[in-house]
């Protein structure tokens, strides 16, 4: 048996929720290893819809343990609300079904404030942040002034951490014209939320080591996508954490030797939310049609996603930086009925052909896609559960994608329903 890491290979919103749900039935433990409540997964189980932001997908399944790793930044108030929302849907979230790394960093109201103040101050150069305080919380983590889950259990330590934190943030707030924060007020807020969060706190790295020794299957659940990675994404239009597969080890404390299979979730076309370069974007009826058929609106933000043709250059790059073993190709059915399809196979920049996406921001914005045109299919692929159910031209499209990205297709998703999946290779079988 092996442990599986699930990562997005584009700009997020690839349909990870359904695939993680499908895999979580086969896993014993599901671990979130990066990001915060700026990410969202939508699960559809027996016709019932669950929207998750911080909680690992495994929490909706009886008998599974969900873990929020140290690589995640946690808004305790948002987490409490999410737990209560799931309980209202009949899902019991208890300290027996959910563990939170005691060394995970907290997102505080001051982080949300700073996020919004900075985004508003950027005028025409907005990053596209969700304004949930994710970036400022990670800044405090690397600046060694953050408040962590374990600090909630020790009032004297908590007071010292608050003083150190406000020494930095109140200076920033003054410079941005915002009111300074009272230390006693923040302490009082944290003392109220602490009893709601501390029962879930645990030494996660040790617990995961125990599960590894007992041969339990662990599913590592990533958020966002590879092109939003702080190092390998379209910087600065990225998230504030490492979204690639290597972070599964760092963000959980389990160690790289525990990763057995990397599954890249890849949409059959391309979407992006917010600002930043997008070489294959379609600002026309075709793009709008993809958005309408694919219901392309953010789970967390509700923002409409930008849509475009499949970009094999970007995805191939993600295969390399993530060490992807196979992909789950999602939303194939959205392409049904299109007469022709285009796939980006390279870029042109200043008369030079590129086989990768450059790191420089100005060069990224100027690349022009080189397209290969393929025949579409008039028949429906929605609900297909075997290769025999797919039109020949759809299979040809899938095979060409495999060639271009240099990675095999392990799964094909043909609708939001979990059983509408063509399984080529079970990642847990290795």
* Active site (catalytic) residues: 13, 41
Q: Which residues pair with 263 in a beta bridge?
A: 6, 326
Q: Could you give the CA distance from residue 309 to residue 287 in angstroms, rounded to a whole number?
A: 8
Q: Could you give the CA distance from residue 32 to residue 102 in angstroms, rounded to a whole number?
A: 14
Per DSSP, the three-state class of 330 is strand
Q: Report which of 32, 5, 95, 3 is spatially closest to residue 328, judged by C-alpha positions.
A: 5
Q: Could you give the CA distance from residue 256 to residue 153 in angstroms, rounded to a whole number?
A: 30
Q: How far is CA 291 from the centre of its chain?
A: 20
Q: Report which of 315, 316, 328, 335 is spatially closest to residue 394, judged by C-alpha positions.
A: 335
Residues in contact with 160: Cβ distance below 8 Å, sequence separation at least 6, in sequence order:
none
Burial of residue 179 (CB within 10 Å: 0-12, 13-18, 19+) is exposed
Q: Which residues of 359-374 are buried (b: 16+ CB within 10 A; e: fewer)?
A: eeeeebeebebbeeeb
CA distances from 14 to 85, 258, 268, 352, 430 (A): 24, 25, 9, 30, 24
Within a 10 A sphere around the Cβ of 385, how many other Cβ atoms?
A: 15
Q: Which residues pair with 48 in a beta bridge?
A: 45
Residue owning tokens 């150069």: 125
Angle CA 324–329–335, to nearest 5: 150
- How far separated are the first and last CA of the chain, in Å rounded? 6
């Amino acid at each position: 048996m092996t442990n599986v890491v699930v990562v997005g290979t584009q700009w997020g919103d690839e349909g990870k929720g359904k695939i993680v749900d499908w895999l979580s039935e086969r896993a014993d433990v599901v671990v979130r290893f990066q990001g915060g409540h700026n990410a969202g997964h939508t699960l559809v189980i027996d016709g019932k819809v669950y929207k998750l932001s911080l909680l690992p997908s495994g929490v909706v399944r009886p008998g599974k343990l969900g873990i929020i790793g140290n690589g995640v930044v946690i808004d305790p108030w948002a987490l409490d609300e999410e737990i209560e929302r799931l309980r209202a849907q009949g899902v019991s979230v208890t300290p027996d079904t959910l563990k939170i790394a005691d060394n995970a960093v907290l997102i505080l109201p001051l982080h949300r404030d700073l996020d919004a103040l900075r985004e508003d101050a950027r005028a025409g150069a907005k990053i596209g942040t969700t304004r949930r305080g994710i970036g400022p919380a990670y800044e405090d983590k690397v600046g060694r002034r953050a408040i962590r889950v374990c600090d909630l259990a020790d009032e004297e330590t908590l007071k010292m951490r608050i003083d150190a934190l406000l020494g930095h943030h109140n200076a920033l707030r003054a410079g941005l014209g915002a009111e300074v924060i009272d230390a006693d007020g923040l302490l009082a807020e944290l003392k109220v939320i602490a009893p709601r969060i501390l029962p879930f706190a645990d030494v996660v790295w040790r617990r995961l080591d125990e599960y590894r020794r007992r041969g339990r299957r662990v599913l590592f659940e990533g958020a966002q996508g590879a092109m939003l990675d702080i190092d390998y994404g379209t910087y600065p239009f990225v998230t504030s954490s490492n979204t690639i597969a290597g972070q599964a080890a760092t963000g959980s404390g389990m160690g790289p030797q525990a990763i057995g299979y990397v599954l890249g979730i890849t949409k059959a076309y391309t979407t992006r939310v917010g600002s930043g370069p997008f070489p294959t974007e379609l600002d026309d009826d075709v793009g709008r049609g993809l958005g309408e058929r694919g219901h392309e609106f953010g789970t967390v933000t509700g923002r409409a996603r930008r849509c475009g043709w499949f970009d094999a250059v970007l995805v191939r790059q993600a295969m390399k930086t993530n060490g992807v073993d196979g992909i789950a190709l999602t939303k194939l059915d959205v392409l049904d009925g299109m007469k022709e399809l285009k796939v980006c196979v390279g870029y042109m920049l200043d008369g030079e052909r590129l086989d990768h996406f450059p790191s420089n921001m100005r060069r990224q914005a100027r690349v022009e896609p080189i397209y290969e045109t393929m025949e579409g299919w008039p028949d429906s692929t929605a609900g297909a559960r075997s290769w025999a159910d797919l039109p020949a031209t759809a299979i040809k499209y899938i095979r060409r994608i495999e060639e271009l990205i240099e990675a095999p297709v392990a799964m094909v998703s043909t609708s939001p329903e979990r059983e509408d999946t063509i399984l080529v290779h079970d990642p847990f079988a290795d």
